[in-house]
Chains A and B, each alone.
Chain A
Amino acid sequence: MAVFGLYNYWMFVALLMIGIYTIMSRPNLIKKLIGMSIFQSAVFLLYISMDKVEGGTAPILKPGATDQIYSNPLPQVLILTAIVVGIATLALGLALVVRIRESYGTIEENEIRELDRQ
């Protein structure tokens, strides 16, 4: 049971592995960037999972309610920042791929390596 209770964390590890495997195994630069995004999203999931408090609700103060249990809002705020960073990285990566396509005529890593060797 304890193993299934950590369901989120298993998903985190699985996504992390899928992401890093995609980066390493695919020669296509766009697919590499997709792998990178999955890899980063896995970490977002880790942060979001850890702020969950059992029986907790959204951390908004309600007048009169004194014994409410709230989820921890800090990791969510942190991960909002990390998502923005992730988008900026992805955008820059895609811009680079566009430039690479313009000057090499391909986005396959092995073909680029061939062209560089010439």
Chain B
Amino acid sequence: MNALQPHWPVLVVIAPLLAAPLAVLIGRHRLAWAAATAASLCSFLLALQIAAQVRQTGPMVYEMGSWAAPYGIALMVDAFSALLLVIVCGASTGGLLVAARGLGNDIARHRLPLFYAAWLLALAGMAGIVVSADAFNIFVFMEISSLATYILVAGGQRREALTATFKYLIMGTLGATFYLIGIGLIYMMTGTLNLADMELRIREVGELRPILVAGGFVTVGLALKAAVFPLHTWLPNAYAEAPHAVTAFIAACSTKVALYVLLRLDFFVFQGNVPGHGAQFTGFILPLAVVAILAASVLAARARELKHLLAYSSIAQVGTILLGASMVSVTGLTASVAHMYNHALAKGALFVAVACLGTLHSQLSVEGLAGAARRMPLTMAGFVVAGLSLIGLPGTAGFVSKWYLVLAAIELGPAGVWLIAPVLAASLIAVIYIWRVVEPAYFGPSDPALPRREAHWSLLLVLWGVALLNLYFGLRPDFTLTLARQAAEALLSVSN
């Protein structure tokens, strides 16, 4: 294992990338699932090892084929990437465990190996984005993961899944192409694609206008991919129509990976090197974040279907993550990065609970779930725990990052206190929309036609595993907070 240690960053990506064609070649759906899960688990264990290593000894750098940067292509895993890597690989592994029993008959048996191959490619793409230190490589990995995700979303049972995917495809491609334009302009001015090198050379650029335009293109393109408020329209239907296991996977990580690239470029590359960037970033992102938090929360409270409700809540949480980042301070970024992790835990658990509910209910409307707690008591209890974490009740993971967000707002002085209001409002509205599901499920009239039947034990195991992690990281937030703080300091080191 020790001999392989320098190769960990690349192995995380290679394992699922190699397993993808293997899953197709195997052709038998159970074996393909086993191969996919094994590869995903392998990546997850490596991600945990990397996170532990990075926490102790600092960033890991890997030069592909021993070609030194900036000419060669480098991989770099620092605290920020390590935390995201854990989210991505963990979400994929959990999602695959759910997929074994939770897919129902969304996808025909003989197509399942292809489906798992697409899943592995999505995983490899997202893992590649977070380990890569090269702006163009990030684009390629982004497209790999996006194309695979479109396939996964299109696997939904209803025909609306196809139109949702088409919309996602158009918007996703626009976002990625905007990013490509931005990278092209930066390359034009600096002559490099390596992020660390870019950071140094961007200071020497005399003519700043192309860099400013590039910043605009990159930020808007990635905001589209991350479903930042006015650009979020692809997200609700894509989440709602995808197979439940897929929703659990992509809801936990796909928007976070886009946010990762956004923060990486805006802070690591631009912040401190381009004059006035911090103020521009705050001026652009802060209003969007506040509107996202309020508007999406209200939309969630009015949604009719459970998956739409949770999807709108995700858009509000993207706003919360960006609110922390837009304060451009170490505490704010710590809150932001920690919230990525904690929200992935909470939303992942909620969508696993949706997958459990989906094994019994064909319609997942909020009214249709009346009495669900009597039919599936363990599932609904898990839903409540994850819901509390989403709300941010003390003792759950969601509380920790929201607490840090409030601290960061207070640090800003009297003006910052106003920023606490949207955070609190979002939590209160979250109470409303989670209660809208929980109240009828526990106290509503139960449909006598439906039997009392829990989901398969493997689904419950994943659900309760993640739900308990929500409590664990709420009570012992060391792991998240150390990595998040290291990440925030690395992102801001330039300006200090």
Contacts and interface: CB of A to CB of B under 8 A. Distances in A.
Contacts of B187: 50, 75
Nearest to B142: A85
Interface string B102-145: 00000000000000000000000000000000001001100100
Q: Residue among B154, B160, B165, B180 with the most chain A CB within 10 A?
A: B180
Nearest to B159: A103
Contacts of A29: 166
Please classify the interface of chain B as helix (H, G, I), strand (E, B), loop, or mixed, using the class held by over half of its residues. helix
B177 interface: yes
Given A29-B166, A89-B147, A46 B184 contact: yes
B151 interface: yes
Contacts of A97: 166
Given A85-B143, A89-B147, A92-B151, A23 B170 contact: yes
A100 B166 contact: yes
Given A47-B184, A50-B187, A78-B136, A116 B177 contact: no
B163 interface: yes
A37 to B, nearest CB: 10
Contact of B174 (A39, A81, A112): A39
B147 A112 contact: no
Contacts of A81: 136, 140
Interface string B398-430: 000000000000000000000000000000000
Interface in B187-228: 187-188
A46 B187 CA distance: 11
Counting chain B residues whose Cβ lies within 8 A of the other chain, the interface size class is 20 to 34
B366 interface: no
A20 interface: yes
A45 B181 CA distance: 11
Contacts of A96: 150, 154, 162, 165-166, 169
Contact of B173 (A36, A112, A116): A36
A57 B57 CA distance: 47
A42 to B, nearest CB: 9
Interface string A78-102: 1001100100110011001101100
Given A29-B166, A93-B169, A103-B162, A82 B180 contact: yes
B151 A43 contact: no
A85 B140 contact: yes
A99 B154 contact: yes
A100 B143 contact: no
Interface string A9-46: 00000000000100100000100100010011001001
Interface string B366-391: 00000000000000000000000000
Given A92-B147, A100-B166, 14 more contacts: A32-B170, A36-B170, A39-B177, A40-B173, A43-B177, A75-B184, A78-B136, A82-B139, A82-B180, A85-B140, A88-B147, A89-B143, A99-B162, A103-B162
17 contacts: A36-B170, A36-B173, A39-B174, A46-B184, A50-B187, A75-B187, A81-B140, A88-B147, A89-B143, A89-B173, A93-B170, A96-B154, A96-B166, A99-B154, A99-B162, A100-B162, A100-B163
Interface of B: 136, 139-140, 143, 147, 150-151, 154, 159-160, 162-163, 165-166, 169-170, 173-174, 177, 180-181, 184, 187-188
The 8 A-B residue pairs whose C-beta atoms are closest, nearest first, are: A103-B159, A85-B143, A50-B188, A100-B162, A96-B166, A99-B162, A89-B173, A46-B184
